[in-house]
A and B are shown apart, each in its own frame.
Chain A
Amino acid sequence: MSDQDLVVSTVREILAGHEPTQLTPDRRWDAELWADLAEAGLTGVGLPEEAGGSGGELADAVAVVATLAAGAGAVPVAEQLLVAAPAVLAAGLELPPVDQPLSVSVAGAVRVEDGRLTGTATDVAWAGVVHWLAVVAAGPDGDVLALVDVSGLEATHAANLAGEPRGSYVLDGVPAQVGPLPADLRARYALARAVQLSAAAETVLAWTVQYAGERVQFGRPLAKFQGIQMQLAQMAGEVTAVTALVDAAVQRLDRGEPVELAAAAAKVRAGAAVDVVARQAHQVHGAIGFTQEHRLHHLTKRMWSWRDEAGNELTWARVLGAAVAGEDPWPVLTGLV
């Protein structure tokens, strides 16, 4: 068993004790799941032990994030392991204890002056739930990364389609640690969402294949109807394409190569697959999949939101297109992932 297999099976065991639930303003995350993950050291995977992490490779952290995404775990692990904590370390700041959830904000208007933050951080994943926030803030000499303790601050109660908190913090002279902004922060955020989308899409396909095999209509399982088979095969094509590109972008990040365009491509491709995968999953599941009584919605609603977050297809397609446009696009493309 590889390290990643071990990580995946450990996360799965923990997830088995925490059925996904519909998030509401009164239950905005799965604090018990977080506590179990933290106790097992899984909220520090891929982060160096000398910084307070659990050690391990990027691939291990990606495996944790993917497994939690597939299980609709309502915890800020993708943000912490793949985006905020690596950025905090890259900026030379002190990593908060990894059992205290840390998220990231790349939107809004926040200024930093004399180590204090002023302004509003918007679209904050897990706002009101996390203890710490890594914020992109405007300093006198350009953008910087600021790390701020938000545990005592009020957040607005906005949420995404799955109920995951996506509110704002008003920062009124809050003290922060400040360091240089890592150039790949936004790309990492996009890639983290792409990893989640890839894992969710793979699970939705598996659930849909399973359902089609169990549900009997006209005297035979749905899976035996050619029309259904075509839909499932098309879903499989999308899922396989997304997985391959996301894996390649992650490997590029792991090799320490520039990742912005690879992440852009991964986010665009993963986002573009959501419509086909979610639409056809719901079509095959029929009316029960349209209700909160069935598990399907936990993942399809997340997919509909995750494709919009950290930059949607339009935003990243423009970035990618601008890089590819020119007299000789082919060498750009082959050097990109």
Chain B
Amino acid sequence: MPSTLTLAPAPPSEAAEAVRLEVREFLAAELAAGSFTTHVDTWLSGVDPDFSRKLGERGWLGMTWPKEYGGHERTAMERYAVTEELLAAGAPVAAHWIADRQSGPNLLRYGTEAQRKDILPRIAAGECFFVIGMSEPDSGSDLASIRTRAVRNADGDWVVNGAKVWTSNAHHSHYAITLVRTAPLDTAHRHAGMSQLLVDLSTPGITINPIRILDGGHHFNEVVFDDVVIPGDMLLGEEGAGWHQVTAELAFERSGPERFLSTFPLVAEFARRASSPAELATLGRLSARLLALRQLSLRIAAALDRGELPDIPAALVKDVGTTFEADVVEAIREVVDVPASLDSPDPLGRALAEAQLHAPGYTLRGGTNEILRGIVARGLGLR
């Protein structure tokens, strides 16, 4: 196996196991108090700013960042345990998810001191939410084909025109890290001439239009930029280095346990009633797949702790992980006869419905599995 694809095993972490139990206790209390109900895929659909603030108060956001920016200087392994517990419980984590997972780390790597001081403490407190401004109506997998443009005006500010789509929860968020063309497309160097801007979503000229997903939920949006003036100091990182920065950001986006735990609440509901030999076998097969994915994801967390940016292994884990979370629906349907319905009196029927209606998204968001396999193929030396 080429070394680009393999990662060293994660050493056991007592600190991670300790914080895991704290999170478990917190979640049990919150569930008992009725502050949330379990759902499938809550890192997309479970927006609850109060819940995010509670996590911030407990020090469970911005966990790995330096204390001077509101972080807690804990390990990626500890953060892994926290995020995994929240996902497994189907807790409402969508409000802060993107900011904590990738926007914050992106700011840490490429942001100016002023940007970091201003924004990171608010993310860590669970009070500042971000969206991803990458895809466009005509640019999905082919991200280098984006057309949203930013041009410097006489004051040195950026004037942005264009549109971003699939911007999850833009209507609840404060900022969009937006990938724009700051130089015209050069077909010989397609990845050049792009930059990232830190866009305040309340800026005049921005229109946020809802796009409903299959279950009718409003999470996606179209964000339209019409001569939007963004202050010159809101460039993130280097002008023209947008592609490189986005690639680093995607390594964070692709590496976490949300890439195989989106449907875990459905697995848990199934586990509560599994008793026949066929059901137990299915539960066992799903469990084995999940356990392997946990080990892979833990290895990525350990690699992050070593200061590596394991983008190729992250692509591989996301491919295998999202295939699993989508397969869960079919595997359970093979051994139970419960119609999927959002109105089902049976919690398994409701979980099946939520998981099914969200399923097409698992293997698309954050890079389609075809794109991911292309990255893995490069890791195998085929490209």
A interface with B by C-beta (< 8 Å): 202, 205-206, 209, 212-213, 223-224, 226, 228-230, 232-234, 236-245, 247-248, 251, 264-266, 268-269, 272, 313-314, 316-322, 324-331, 333-334, 336-337
Q: Does chain A have a CB within 8 A of B285? A: yes
Interface residues of B in 322-338 (CB under 8 A from A): 323
Bound together, the chains give a CA A316 to CA B285 distance in angstroms of: 9
Q: Does chain A have a CB within 8 A of B247? A: no
A-contact bits for B261-276, CB 8 A (1 contact / 0 none): 0001001100110110
Bound together, the chains give a CA A131 to CA B320 distance in angstroms of: 44
Whether A329 touches B271, Cβ cut-off 8 Å, given contacts A247-B9, A337-B294, is yes
The answer to whether B373 touches A265, judged by C-beta atoms less than 8 angstroms apart, is no
Bound together, the chains give a CA A325 to CA B376 distance in angstroms of: 35
Instruction: Name the one of A224, A245, A321 contacting B280, with C-beta atoms under 8 angstroms.
Output: A321
* 16 A-B pairs in the complex with CB atoms less than 8 angstroms apart: A233-B373, A233-B376, A237-B319, A244-B296, A245-B288, A245-B295, A248-B9, A272-B285, A272-B289, A317-B283, A321-B281, A324-B283, A327-B272, A329-B287, A330-B88, A337-B295
Bound together, the chains give a CA A326 to CA B268 distance in angstroms of: 9
Whether A233 touches B380, Cβ cut-off 8 Å, given contacts A244-B292, A320-B287, A324-B287, is yes
The answer to whether B380 touches A209, judged by C-beta atoms less than 8 angstroms apart, is yes
Q: How distant is B317 from chain A, measured CB to nearest CB, in Å?
A: 8
Q: How distant is B38 from chain A, measured CB to nearest CB, in Å?
A: 11
The answer to whether A325 touches B292, judged by C-beta atoms less than 8 angstroms apart, is no
Q: Does chain A have a CB within 8 A of B219? A: no
Closest B residue to A241 by CB, please name it. Answer: B292
Bound together, the chains give a CA A251 to CA B11 distance in angstroms of: 10
The answer to whether A320 touches B320, judged by C-beta atoms less than 8 angstroms apart, is no
Chief secondary structure at chain A's binding surface: helix
Residue among B279, B280, B317, B370 with max Cβ neighbours from chain A (10 Å): B280
Bound together, the chains give a CA A318 to CA B293 distance in angstroms of: 20
Q: Which residues of A contact B283 (CB under 8 A)?
A: 317, 320-321, 324-325, 329
In order of increasing CB-CB distance, the 9 nearest A-B pairs are A317-B284, A321-B284, A321-B280, A233-B373, A320-B284, A321-B283, A268-B288, A329-B271, A233-B376
Whether A236 touches B5, Cβ cut-off 8 Å, given contacts A265-B287, A337-B291, is yes
B interface with A by C-beta (< 8 Å): 1, 5-6, 9, 20, 24, 84, 88-89, 264, 267-268, 271-272, 274-275, 277, 279-285, 287-296, 299, 313, 316-317, 319-320, 323, 370, 372-374, 376-377, 379-383
Closest A residue to B88 by CB, please name it. Answer: A330
Q: How distant is B215 from chain A, measured CB to nearest CB, in Å?
A: 24
Bound together, the chains give a CA A334 to CA B373 distance in angstroms of: 28
Q: How distant is B30 from chain A, measured CB to nearest CB, in Å?
A: 15
Q: Which residues of A contact B268 (CB under 8 A)?
A: 328-330
Whether A269 touches B291, Cβ cut-off 8 Å, given contacts A244-B296, A321-B279, A325-B283, is yes
Bound together, the chains give a CA A234 to CA B280 distance in angstroms of: 27
The answer to whether B288 touches A233, judged by C-beta atoms less than 8 angstroms apart, is no
Bound together, the chains give a CA A246 to CA B116 distance in angstroms of: 42
Q: Which residues of A contact B88 (CB under 8 A)?
A: 330
The answer to whether A240 touches B9, judged by C-beta atoms less than 8 angstroms apart, is no
Q: Which residues of A contact B293 (CB under 8 A)?
A: 241
The answer to whether B284 touches A318, judged by C-beta atoms less than 8 angstroms apart, is yes
Whether A241 touches B296, Cβ cut-off 8 Å, given contacts A206-B1, A251-B9, A321-B274, is yes
Q: Which residues of B contact A234 (CB under 8 A)?
A: 319, 373
The answer to whether B382 touches A232, judged by C-beta atoms less than 8 angstroms apart, is yes
Closest B residue to A202 by CB, please name it. Answer: B1
Whether A223 touches B316, Cβ cut-off 8 Å, given contacts A240-B296, A321-B284, A333-B290, is no
Q: Which residues of A contact B272 (CB under 8 A)?
A: 325-327, 329
Bound together, the chains give a CA A321 to CA B88 distance in angstroms of: 18
Bound together, the chains give a CA A161 to CA B208 distance in angstroms of: 62
The answer to whether B277 touches A318, judged by C-beta atoms less than 8 angstroms apart, is yes
The answer to whether A233 touches B377, judged by C-beta atoms less than 8 angstroms apart, is yes
Q: Which residues of A contact B377 (CB under 8 A)?
A: 229-230, 232-233
Bound together, the chains give a CA A325 to CA B284 distance in angstroms of: 9
The answer to whether B373 touches A230, judged by C-beta atoms less than 8 angstroms apart, is yes
The answer to whether A212 touches B382, judged by C-beta atoms less than 8 angstroms apart, is yes
Bound together, the chains give a CA A206 to CA B285 distance in angstroms of: 26
Q: How distant is B311 from chain A, measured CB to nearest CB, in Å?
A: 14
Q: A236-B379, A328-B268, A333-B287 are in contact. List 19 more A-B contacts (CB 8 A).
A: A228-B382, A229-B383, A233-B372, A233-B380, A234-B319, A237-B319, A245-B288, A265-B287, A265-B292, A268-B288, A269-B291, A272-B289, A317-B285, A321-B274, A321-B284, A326-B272, A329-B287, A330-B89, A334-B84
The answer to whether A268 touches B285, judged by C-beta atoms less than 8 angstroms apart, is yes
Q: Which residues of B contact A333 (CB under 8 A)?
A: 287, 290-291, 294
Q: Which residues of A contact B275 (CB under 8 A)?
A: 325
Q: Which residues of B contact A229 (CB under 8 A)?
A: 373-374, 377, 380, 382-383
Bound together, the chains give a CA A333 to CA B290 distance in angstroms of: 9
Q: Which residues of B contact A272 (CB under 8 A)?
A: 285, 288-289
The answer to whether A244 touches B299, judged by C-beta atoms less than 8 angstroms apart, is yes
Q: Which residues of B contact A236 (CB under 8 A)?
A: 1, 5, 316, 376, 379-380
Instruction: Name the one of A230, A233, A239 contacting B1, with C-beta atoms under 8 angstroms.
Output: A239
Instruction: Name the one of B284, B319, B373 contacting A268, with C-beta atoms under 8 angstroms.
Output: B284
Q: How distant is B269 from chain A, measured CB to nearest CB, in Å?
A: 10
Bound together, the chains give a CA A236 to CA B373 distance in angstroms of: 9
Whether A269 touches B292, Cβ cut-off 8 Å, given contacts A230-B370, A326-B271, is yes
Whether A316 touches B284, Cβ cut-off 8 Å, given contacts A236-B316, A265-B291, is yes
Residue among B84, B264, B268, B370 with max Cβ neighbours from chain A (10 Å): B268
Instruction: Name the one of A212, A213, A317 contacting B288, with C-beta atoms under 8 angstroms.
Output: A317
Q: Which residues of B contact A224 (CB under 8 A)?
A: 382
Bound together, the chains give a CA A328 to CA B265 distance in angstroms of: 11
Q: How distant is A223 from chain B, measured CB to nearest CB, in Å?
A: 5
Q: How distant is A310 from chain B, measured CB to nearest CB, in Å?
A: 15
